Amino acid sequence: MPKCPECDADVTVGADAVKGEIVACPDCGAELEVTETAPPSLALAPEAEEDWGE
């Protein structure tokens, strides 16, 4: 099970997760990006920037 890079908690990544998906750390709430799926690995997701949106 991958660890949260922010607080080291175990983070469950669903079997249907895809690369680039965002999950939240259940302990610290950090937004994490799924960088690999087999095996799953996580990185801190980029912070929102000014031109983000719809």
Q: What residues line the site for another protein (CB under 8 A)?
A: 18-22, 33-34, 45-46, 49-54
Closest to another protein by CB, 29 vs 46, is: 46
CB 9, min distance to another protein, A: 21
Q: Which residues contact residue 4 at a Cβ distance below 8 angstroms, ignoring those fewer than 6 apart?
A: 10, 11, 25, 27, 28, 30, 32, 42
Closest to another protein by CB, 39 vs 53, is: 53
Is the distance from CB of 41 to CB of 30 less than 8 angstroms?
no
CB 48, min distance to another protein, A: 8
